[in-house]
């Protein structure tokens, strides 16, 4: 990264409510970095990508920030560091925030036909990162194919700079009534870890049409179907004596669909669905029925508001706010261990990615991956390509195997990509 | 493309086995279509350096204590060796960890070194050299080096001013020692305090606004 100029910028911003959690809880393979990638139908040109990233950054000025430590909270400070596009040469979702260095909180890299945007979660959530990647793609494709796309207008995101960096958690915060919900301990994945601190990626490309038809035949939505298949896949590897614990999936939900917001900082909540195999039947049909019911119960505006306000309440507590940052780090990372005990794994479905009609012929698919301490599944679709990306810190691949075998047993064609098991080792 | 007959999936690239079940694949792989680069074991050089330093420190400590026991001397001289090694170790660790943040590194080292010096002075029969020389000299040195670095490397004001202010405030401390009549030699302390006061007034007069914004962001609740 290089200094663009010596101009002085003084602007800074607080971290939003969700972002505050991430710096204290970035550990080992769970770097709190996520990756969006886009596979084009042509080899990526480095110089054009560099230029496009710089153009796109002008539309998202608050992404040009570094994170610093204050006395009570971390904060983002504007910088004039410029991103440098690189050939992909690191493990997936590598640590981006480093207390000992000053660098941007996102990275753009490329490999063959693929463009990767890796982002630290304190900067933004999936929705914000995806908008940024779309903007990069717009500039990339219109520069690369000037002759054909010259007349294409700049897609308007309809949001001002201040709307983009607004903290919507604060905007919608209402003090919640006191409630004590006890977390149930969930089954925790325990397997031998990979040798190095690197994540294994196994992603399967399937047809959206076929998957939707399959989910429909079970009378459910795609996310609930994926969740159920994942629960079944985990169940098949579960030791008998662990069956007293339910399998619990945490599912991030984009809050913008419930609470209108144009922000590109974090604005997501989570729901939890769980299934207890000791009390319920292990048949996929029954799992789907139960999970579908839980989805419908939780995915309402009222339910999401309660959860959102409960999380925000911590940040609004004046006593907690006055605790020095280092102590906060300690408490938050401990609290995280308790939350981890209540979840088996995370399933994140980003949903359908749309691009302007004119750009679609150049794009093959989108993918999304997150860092994790254990194993995590992310899904996202573009046109008829649904990418199911597993990132995993374990050596074993049995859960992924069960998951994809269930899909193929229903006649779904799966095309696998993986960053492991090379036949020629370097 | 390769296929796994057991999992019934097709596999992109050239794999030695099925990524899911690790059984043999049928069909011919094509290395050219591999969708991820092969990353040779990631190098954590800085991490390695820290490990070596820590290991060497532990070896030296163990050896010196052992020798102390072997040569039956009446004094526990090895405690000094241990303290010296620990001082060196912590200084090296902080220095290496913060090497990418020069100014913060200087500030950290300033506090660390002066604290260690006072500690050594105190436990070796207070001769006052730490407050006579070490504190004022290192404050002046860090002030000068910060100014020079900021000028040469063209840091934006907001990047260095916070550390500069901290060092200046620390640089005024020797006047307290003077007032309390703790000093044997006053020249270094006078130079240090004077240069700190001049620097801090320059900062307040020319960059006062910036200081307020930095205080605001560093202390926001």
Q: Which of A100, A111, A420 sits opposite B37 (nearest CB)?
A: A111
Range from A47-61, A128-142, A152-166, A254-268 carrying the lowest mean pLDDT: A152-166
From chain B, the residues in CB contact with A14 under 8 A are: 220
Q: Reduce the DSSP state of residue B27 to 3 states and report it.
A: coil
Instruction: Express each pLDDT in A279-301 by its tens digit.
Output: 888 899 999 999 999 999 888 88
From chain A, the residues in CB contact with B37 under 8 A are: 87-89, 111
Give the residue from B6, B9, B214 with the most A CB atoms within 10 Å of its CB, the best one to mutate. B9
Cα separation, A234 vs A107, whole angstroms: 33
Task: Please report where in the chains the tokens 């290089």 appear, as a residue.
Answer: A2
End-to-end CA distance of chain A: 28
Residue A1's pLDDT band, with cuts at 50, 70 and 90, is: very low
A415 with B156: Cβ contact below 8 A? no
Task: Please report where in the chains the tokens 């296929």 appear, as a residue.
Answer: B3
Predicted interface score ipTM higher than 0.90: no
Q: What token pair was written down for A324?
A: 């020095």
Cα separation, B74 vs A29, whole angstroms: 51
Give the residue from B2, B16, B20 with the most A CB atoms within 10 Å of its CB, the best one to mutate. B20
Summarize the confidence of residues A84-92 as an average pLDDT. Answer: 90
- Round the average pLDDT of chain A to a whole number and report it: 87
Is B43 near chain A, with CB under 8 Å?
Answer: no
Domain A2-171 has CATH 3.30.559.10: yes
Cα separation, A416 vs A215, whole angstroms: 21
A202 with B38: Cβ contact below 8 A? no
Q: Where are the domains of chain A?
A: 2-171, 200-418
- Residues in CB range of A156: below 8 A, 6 or more apart: none
- Which residue, among B129, B218, B89, has the nearest Cα to B165 in the 3D structure? B218
Nearest CA in chain B to A100: B98
- Which residue, among A87, A4, A83, has the nearest Cα to A45 in the 3D structure? A87
* Predicted local distance difference test score (pLDDT) of residue B90: 94
* Predicted local distance difference test score (pLDDT) of residue B71: 85
Is B38 near chain A, with CB under 8 Å?
Answer: yes
Q: Tell me the count of A-B CB pairs closer than 8 A.
A: 139
Instruction: Express each pLDDT in A398-417 by its tens digit.
Output: 999 999 999 999 999 999 99
B221 with A415: Cβ contact below 8 A? no
Cα separation, A36 vs B178, whole angstroms: 61
A72 with B221: Cβ contact below 8 A? yes
Give the residue from B23, B33, B210, B221 with the most A CB atoms within 10 Å of its CB, the best one to mutate. B221
A423 with B16: Cβ contact below 8 A? yes
Classify B88 in phi/psi space as left (phi over 0), alpha (psi -120 to 50) or beta: alpha
Task: Please determine, for residue A226, whether its predicted confidence score (pLDDT) is greater than 60.
Answer: yes
* Predicted local distance difference test score (pLDDT) of residue B195: 93
Helix-helix angle A222-235:A284-298, to 10 degrees: 130
- Which residue, among A281, A228, A147, A190, has the nearest Cα to A403 in the 3D structure? A228
Rounded to the nearest 5°, which phi and psi values hold at B173? -55, -40
Q: Which of A8, A77, A198 sits opposite B42 (nearest CB)?
A: A198
Q: Which of A72, A405, A415 sits opposite B220 (nearest CB)?
A: A72
- Residues in CB range of A117: below 8 A, 6 or more apart: A35, A36, A37, A106, A107, A108, A129, A132, A133, A136
Q: What token pair was written down for A279?
A: 């009390």
Higher pLDDT, B219 or A426: B219
* Predicted local distance difference test score (pLDDT) of residue A3: 44
Q: Where are the beta strands (DSSP E) in A172-283?
A: 200-207, 247-254, 268-275
User: Which CATH number, 1.20.1370.20, 2.60.120.430, 3.30.559.30, 3.30.9.10, labels domain A200-418?
Assistant: 3.30.559.30
Q: A78 to chain B, minimum CA–CA distance in Å? A: 10
Cα separation, A332 vs A324, whole angstroms: 12
A73 with B97: Cβ contact below 8 A? no
pLDDT in tens, chain B (221 residues): 899 998 999 999 888 899 999 989 998 888 888 888 888 655 555 578 888 999 999 999 999 999 988 887 777 788 889 999 999 999 999 998 888 888 889 999 999 999 999 999 998 888 989 999 999 999 999 999 998 988 898 887 777 888 888 999 999 999 888 888 888 888 999 999 999 999 999 888 888 887 888 888 888 88
Q: Element (H or E) spanning A119, and its range? A: strand A114-120
Is B9 near chain A, with CB under 8 Å?
Answer: yes
Pairing assessment for the beta strands A86-87 and A81-82 based on DSSP bridges: unpaired
Q: How many CB atoms lie within 10 A of CB A176?
A: 16
B15 with A422: Cβ contact below 8 A? yes
* Predicted local distance difference test score (pLDDT) of residue A2: 42
Q: Which of B7, B16, B154 sits opposite A401 (nearest CB)?
A: B7
Most confident by average pLDDT, A225-234, A239-248, A255-264, B74-83: A225-234
Most confident by average pLDDT, A83-97, A209-223, B72-86: A209-223
Q: Which of A8, A92, A421 sits opposite B158 (nearest CB)?
A: A8
* Predicted local distance difference test score (pLDDT) of residue B45: 55
Summarize the confidence of residues A94-111 as an average pLDDT. Answer: 89
Is the CB of residue B156 less than 8 Å from the CB of residue A8?
yes
Pairing assessment for the beta strands A114-120 and A106-111 based on DSSP bridges: antiparallel
Summarize the confidence of residues A347-364 as an average pLDDT. Answer: 91
Q: What token pair was written down for B192?
A: 């240090």
- Which residue, among B119, B171, B120, has the nearest Cα to B145 in the 3D structure? B171
B34 with A422: Cβ contact below 8 A? yes
Q: Which of A92, A102, A414 sits opposite B100 (nearest CB)?
A: A102
Cα separation, A247 vs A184, whole angstroms: 10
Nearest CA in chain B to A6: B156
From chain B, the residues in CB contact with A202 under 8 A are: 19-20
Is B210 near chain A, with CB under 8 Å?
Answer: yes
Q: Element (H or E) spanning A299, and its range? A: none
Higher pLDDT, A4 or A278: A278
Is the CB of residue A414 less than 8 Å from the CB of residue A407?
yes
Is B28 near chain A, with CB under 8 Å?
Answer: no
* Predicted local distance difference test score (pLDDT) of residue A305: 85
A202 with B100: Cβ contact below 8 A? no
Q: B158 to chain A, minimum CA–CA distance in Å? A: 7
* Predicted local distance difference test score (pLDDT) of residue A426: 52
Rounded to the nearest 5°, which phi and psi values hold at A62? -75, -10
Range from A236-245, A318-327, B193-202 carrying the lowest mean pLDDT: A318-327
B219 with A197: Cβ contact below 8 A? no
Residue A181's pLDDT band, with cuts at 50, 70 and 90, is: low
- Across B57-72, b (16+ Cβ under 10 Å) vs e yields beebbeebeeebeeee
A2-171 with A200-418: one CATH topology?
yes
Residue A265's pLDDT band, with cuts at 50, 70 and 90, is: confident
Identify the DSSP state of A257: G
Cα separation, B93 vs B206, whole angstroms: 36
Summarize the confidence of residues A200-205 as an average pLDDT. Answer: 93
B37 with A89: Cβ contact below 8 A? yes
* Predicted local distance difference test score (pLDDT) of residue A6: 39
Cα separation, A140 vs A134, whole angstroms: 10
Task: Please report where in the chains the tokens 């910036």 appear, as a residue.
Answer: B210
Q: What percentage of chain A exceeds 90 in pLDDT?
A: 43
Instruction: Express each pLDDT in A373-382 by its tens digit.
Output: 899 999 999 9
From chain A, the residues in CB contact with B8 under 8 A are: 405, 408-409, 414
Q: Which of B20, B218, B221 sits opposite A401 (nearest CB)?
A: B20
């Amino acid at each position: 990264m290089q200094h663009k100029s010596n101009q002085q910028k003084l602007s800074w911003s607080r971290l939003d409510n969700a972002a505050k959690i991430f710096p204290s809880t970035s550990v080992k393979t769970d770097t709190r970095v996520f990756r969006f990638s886009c596979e084009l139908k042509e080899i990526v040109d480095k110089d054009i990508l560099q230029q496009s990233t710089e153009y796109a950054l002008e539309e998202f000025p608050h992404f040009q920030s570094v994170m610093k430590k204050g006395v009570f909270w971390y904060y983002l400070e504007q910088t004039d560091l410029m991103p440098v596009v690189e050939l992909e040469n690191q493990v997936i979702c590598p640590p981006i925030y480093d207390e000992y260095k000053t660098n941007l909180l996102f990275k753009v890299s490329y490999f063959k036909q693929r463009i990767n945007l890796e982002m630290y979660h304190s900067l933004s959530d999936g929705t914000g990162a995806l908008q940024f990647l779309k903007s990069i793609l717009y500039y990339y494709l219109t520069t690369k194919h000037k002759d054909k796309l010259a007349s294409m207008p700049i897609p308007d995101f309809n949001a001002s700079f201040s709307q983009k960096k607004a903290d919507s958690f604060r905007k919608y915060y209402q003090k919640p009534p006191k409630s004590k919900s006890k977390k149930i301990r969930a089954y925790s994945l325990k397997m031998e870890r990979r040798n190095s601190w690197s994540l294994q990626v196994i992603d399967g490309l399937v047809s959206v049409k076929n998957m939707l038809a399959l989910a429909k035949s079970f009378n459910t939505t795609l996310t609930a179907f994926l969740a159920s298949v994942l629960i079944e896949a985990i169940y098949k590897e579960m030791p008998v004596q662990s069956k007293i614990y339910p399998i619990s999936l945490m599912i991030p939900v984009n809050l913008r669909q419930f609470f209108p917001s144009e922000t590109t900082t974090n604005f997501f909540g989570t729901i939890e669905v769980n299934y207890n195999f000791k009390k319920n039947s292990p048949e996929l049909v029954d799992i789907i029925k139960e999970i579908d019911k839980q989805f419908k119960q939780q995915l309402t505006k009222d339910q999401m508001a309660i959860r959102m306000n409960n999380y925000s309440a911590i940040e609004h507590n004046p006593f907690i706010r006055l605790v020095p940052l280092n102590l906060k780090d300690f408490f938050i990372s401990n609290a995280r261990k308790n939350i981890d005990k209540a979840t088996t794994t995370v399933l994140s479905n980003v949903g359908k990615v749309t691009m302007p009609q004119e750009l679609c012929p150049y794009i093959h698919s989108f993918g999304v991956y997150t860092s994790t301490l254990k194993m995590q599944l992310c899904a996202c679709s573009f046109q008829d390509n649904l990418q199911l990306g597993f990132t995993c810190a374990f050596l074993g691949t049995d859960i992924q195997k069960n998951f994809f075998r269930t899909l193929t047993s229903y006649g779904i064609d799966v095309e696998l990509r993986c960053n492991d098991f090379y036949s020629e080792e370097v | 493309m390769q296929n796994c007959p057991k999992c019934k999936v097709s596999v992109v690239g050239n794999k030695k086995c099925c990524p899911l079940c690790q059984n043999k694949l049928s069909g011919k792989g094509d290395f050219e279509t591999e969708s991820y680069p092969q990353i040779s074991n990631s190098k954590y050089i800085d991490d390695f350096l820290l490990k070596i330093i820590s290991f060497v420190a532990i070896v030296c400590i163990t050896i010196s204590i052992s020798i102390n026991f072997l040569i039956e001397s009446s004094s526990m001289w090895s405690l000094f060796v241990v303290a010296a090694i620990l001082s060196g170790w912590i200084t090296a660790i902080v220095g290496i960890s913060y090497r990418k943040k020069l100014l913060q590194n200087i500030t950290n080292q300033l506090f660390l070194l002066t604290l260690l010096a006072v500690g050594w002075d105190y436990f070796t029969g207070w001769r006052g050299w730490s407050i006579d020389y070490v504190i004022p000299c290192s404050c002046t040195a860090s002030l000068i080096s910060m100014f020079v670095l900021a000028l040469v490397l063209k840091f934006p004001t907001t990047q260095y001013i916070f550390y500069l202010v901290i060092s200046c405030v620390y640089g005024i401390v020797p006047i307290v020692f003077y007032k309390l009549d703790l000093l044997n030699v006053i020249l270094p302390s006078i130079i240090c305090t004077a240069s700190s006061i001049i620097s801090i007034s320059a900062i307040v007069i020319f960059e006062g606004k910036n200081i307020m914004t930095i205080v605001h962001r560093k202390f926001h609740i």
